[in-house]
A = this chain, B = another copy of it.
Amino acid sequence: MKQFTSVKDIDNVGDLVREALQIKQNPYAYESLGKRRTLGLVFMNPSLRTRLSTQKAAQNLGMNVMTVNADKDSWALEFQDGAVMNTTTVEHIRDAAPVLGNYCDIIGVRCFPGLLSKEVDTSEHIMHQFIKWTKKPYISLESATLHPLQSLADAVTMVEHSRVKRPKVVLTWAPHIKSIPHAVANSFAEWAVAQEVEFVITHPEGYELDPQFTQGATIEYNQQKALEGADFVYVKNWSSFADYGKLLCHDQNWMLTLRHMEATNQARVMHCLPVRRNVELSDEILDSPHSLVQAQAENRVFAAQAVLKRMLENL
């Protein structure tokens, strides 16, 4: 595997999920595979789970990890080709990224969207520059539009907890007070479409996700109807894509509560964390046996380890 940025980088989702589950059974089975190998992690935004789970995955494989908190530990980066750098940015990605590629065998980068320009964010300009100039296997630690390590962990979690062969999976929009990226929702959608599930997305009108990621999913604006018979409910806020980055709906009825669960097939509830409690999702759900959020977080380690293992085998 040369890059892990989207479900499109994977031949067979089922195989990768099974590989992650095998690693979970025996996390140290490949602990010499990463000997003398270095994973470079670049964070342009905050991270708890991704930071620690990817670090742990690398350590389980015997790799060294070097972390750069960009803009804090090092220099403000410029991404524009041909820029005359006479303002605030200090180093161009064309110079910084090859250095990282030089020092590291695999590179992971977190680069959130600005949510100011749909065109800029959708182009994944920053991610593509890192891929182009590091010239090393690349793992997305969440880009402007996708979060594949989260989606792989979510797929692993659903396989572990599914009671039926073809579960009904509902991705439901939830309220939030801030303008939030689409990456987790887009990513969950493109992975769900690639799996053997019945997949429904529900959200207020105006919150349609970028269709390139949701093609094949059913859109149902009525949340209650969408939830009927659901086996898994994935809760997530995102800002509008059409009216880019804007907040259009503040209706607290979209927050998932136990009342919403009645129509479901005793569904398990998922969220990528961090979650705004009692805004996106109620305490009563998060602290109930419905919740799978910790199982998802735990599986982040094995998702990252499966991806790193494949990359290491390919070096």
Residues of A within 8 A of B (CB): 28, 31, 36, 38, 40, 43, 46-49, 51-53, 55-56, 59, 64, 66, 68-69, 72-75, 78, 82-87, 90-92, 94-96, 98-100, 102-103, 177, 273-279, 283, 286-287, 293-294, 297-298, 301
Contacts and interface: CB of A to CB of B under 8 A. Distances in A.
Nearest to A28: B36
Contacts of A94: 277, 286-287
Top 7 closest pairs, chain A to chain B, by CB? A91-B274, A48-B74, A85-B276, A84-B278, A99-B297, A102-B298, A86-B177
A158 B56 CA distance: 39
Contacts of A298: 102
A315 B49 CA distance: 23
Copies of this chain in its oligomeric complex? 3
Contacts of A286: 94-95
Contacts of A90: 274, 276
Contacts of A64: 56, 59
B95 A68 contact: no
Nearest to A48: B74
Contacts of A283: 82
Given A274-B90, A277-B92, A293-B95, A46 B66 contact: no
B102 A74 contact: no
Contacts of A276: 85-86, 90
Nearest to A294: B98
A280 to B, nearest CB: 8
30 contacts: A28-B36, A38-B59, A46-B74, A47-B73, A47-B74, A48-B73, A48-B75, A48-B91, A48-B96, A48-B99, A55-B66, A56-B66, A69-B72, A69-B73, A72-B72, A75-B274, A82-B278, A83-B278, A84-B279, A86-B276, A87-B177, A92-B275, A94-B286, A95-B275, A95-B277, A99-B297, A102-B294, A102-B297, A102-B301, A103-B301
Given A51-B73, A75-B274, A95-B274, 15 more contacts: A31-B36, A48-B74, A48-B91, A51-B74, A78-B277, A82-B278, A85-B277, A86-B276, A90-B276, A91-B275, A95-B277, A99-B273, A102-B294, A102-B297, A102-B298
A53 B84 CA distance: 28
A47 B293 CA distance: 32
A72 B74 CA distance: 13
Given A56-B66, A64-B59, A75-B46, A98 B275 contact: no
B56 A103 contact: yes
Contact of A96 (B69, B74, B98, B274): B274
Contacts of A287: 94
A48 B68 contact: yes
A166 to B, nearest CB: 29
